[in-house]
Structure 1
Amino acid sequence: MNKFQLEQNKAFKLANDLKQGGRANIGGTAAPKTDRREQRKLDQAKGLVPFACKLDEKLVSQLKERAESHEGGMTEVLAELLVAAGLQR
């Protein structure tokens, strides 16, 4: 492989990581991450079910702001808000 092919291969890997929603391996230090299958199994063991819906972008931006400061992330923020709205776990 020549230098061009090596750089092209790195670019493809970076683009794939970005498509998958992961963070690029910058500086050669990547945190160990679970693949999607493993994550699905872990979520199922916890009793979590994927649920998609469409929300107004202003509401989504407010949710993202809350999730950044919340240690449980978006899932926990949404769960807390739904419980506070009267739904039970």
Structure 2
Amino acid sequence: MKRTDLEKNKALKIMGKMKAATPPARFAGETVLDRREQRRLDQAAGLVSFPVKLTQPVIDALNARAAADGVSMNELVNRLLGQALEQ
């Protein structure tokens, strides 16, 4: 390999390690779980990731309602979808 290719590979390794690392607790405010641990806790709680595309006005309304109710976005969407499905 050329020297420039070796340097590019080293840079890619460093960038991959930086993306995979969790921020130190002093920046996160509280202890931050790594992704595997968080995924394990979510699975134990019965939570499933469900990506969905929404328009910006809907997202703004959800954010405003979550802030007004004092709950997280996940809790709000879970509650609203549950109510809609019951009807």
Asked if TM exceeds 0.5, the reply is yes
Distance 1:34 1:70 in 2: 26
SS of aligned partner of 1:34 = coil
RMSD value, Cα: 2.7
Greater C-alpha radius of gyration: 2
Which residue does the alignment assign to 1:51? 50
- Runs of 5+ consecutive residues of structure 1 not aligned to the other structure: 1-15
> Percent identical across equivalent pairs?
38
Give the number of aligned pairs.
Answer: 65
Higher relative contact order at CA 8 Å, sep ≥6: structure 1 or structure 2?
2
- Runs of 5+ consecutive residues of structure 2 not aligned to the other structure: 1-17
Structure 2 length-normalised TM: 0.60
Structure 1 length-normalised TM: 0.59
Answer with 72-81 or 49-58: which moved more.
Answer: 72-81
Output the amino acid matched with 2:34.
Answer: D
